[in-house]
Amino acid sequence: MNKQNKYYIFVLLSFLILPNFLFAEELADSEINEKIEAFILEHPEVIVESINRYEKKMRSENDIRKQEFLQSNREMIFNTSDKMFEGNENGKIKLVEFFDYNCGYCKASHREIHDLLTEHQDLLVIYKPFPILGPLSLEYARYGLAVSELGKFKEFHNEMFTHKGPIKEKDVESIIEKIGLDFSVVKIMINKTEYRENIKESIFIAQSLGLQGTPAFVLEDEIINKFVTKEALEKKFMEIR
């Protein structure tokens, strides 16, 4: 039980029990503790129900805050100026994916997204780096931004997520050379301040939306904080259309 819930129980018990003590004889601390313990043992359902209601209320308030952030920052969230996107830039359906190049579930998601882009011509997928799995994830995100500036994001993104096994730094070099870029040039580019700021902004968006891992998505007004299948997304597309 976290500290917040313990505090809530203390306040609850104060309202439920202590008023009765005010009209009773003065009690020692040990007697008060015994009565509180007895009350909890006799009425555990009151505590459980109160905690459930409290947590539900907190979730509801958090959901409201996340939606308010989404509605107030749509331009920032659905921005494509960094060129990290695929599909129809004027498409009716806009899907934002938060990803990490070291994320196994993101690899699985890549296959689903690839098929969706092939089958749905009105789909735009915007990618936001959310490097949460260590320093290499952060470095790979900067490589992604650099190759995007050079017009090779789609190729780089696909090679990174179809690579077999964990991605090592030497693998990134091979991938960059494979897609026709000079690795020595890209290596210098990744130190640009604007890339660091871009990633900071992406992380800020993810945290403000309450995202806790990758992959995660934003589709219209919906925040999807988990891996989702192609079929599930297609059902949501139908609702938008």
Q: Could you list the residue range(s) of the whole structural domain that residue 192 is in?
A: 76-240
pTM: 0.77
Q: Kindly state the tokens that stand for 220.
A: 């219209």
φ/ψ of 225, rounded to 5, equals -100, 50
* Mean pLDDT of all residues in 78-107: 96
Higher pLDDT, 44 or 214: 214
Looking at the fold, whether 88 and 57 belong to one and the same domain comes out as no
Amino acid 48: pLDDT = 74
> Is the bond preceding residue 135 a cis peptide, omega within 30 degrees?
no
φ/ψ of 91, rounded to 5, equals -65, 150
Looking at the fold, whether 209 and 109 belong to one and the same domain comes out as yes
Looking at the fold, whether 99 and 193 belong to one and the same domain comes out as yes
Last residue of a domain, one of 72, 96, 118: 72
Looking at the fold, whether 67 and 80 belong to one and the same domain comes out as no
For 168-200, write each residue's pLDDT tens digit: 999 999 999 999 999 999 999 999 999 999 999
Q: What's the CA gap between 224 and 218, in Å, rounded?
A: 6
Amino acid 53: pLDDT = 74
| H-helix or E-strand spanning residue 217 | strand 216-219
User: Is residue 9's pLDDT more than 70?
Assistant: no
Residue type, 78: F
Residue type, 59: R
Looking at the fold, whether 63 and 169 belong to one and the same domain comes out as no
Q: What's the CA gap between 52 and 29, in Å, rounded?
A: 29
Number of domains in the chain: 2
Q: Report the chain's mean pLDDT, rounded to a whole number.
A: 87
User: Is residue 22's pLDDT more than 50?
Assistant: no
Looking at the fold, whether 85 and 203 belong to one and the same domain comes out as yes
State what percent of residues in the chain have pLDDT above 70: 83
* Mean pLDDT of all residues in 10-34: 55
Strand partners, 127: 97
Looking at the fold, whether 28 and 86 belong to one and the same domain comes out as no
Q: What's the CA gap between 228 and 109, in Å, rounded?
A: 7
Amino acid 54: pLDDT = 67
Looking at the fold, whether 219 and 134 belong to one and the same domain comes out as yes
User: Is residue 14's pLDDT more than 70?
Assistant: no
147 touches 109 (CB < 8 A) = no
* Mean pLDDT of all residues in 134-162: 97
Last residue of a domain, one of 48, 72, 96: 72
* Mean pLDDT of all residues in 100-109: 97
Looking at the fold, whether 186 and 108 belong to one and the same domain comes out as yes
Confidence bin at 43 (pLDDT 50/70/90): confident
Last residue of a domain, one of 57, 72, 87: 72
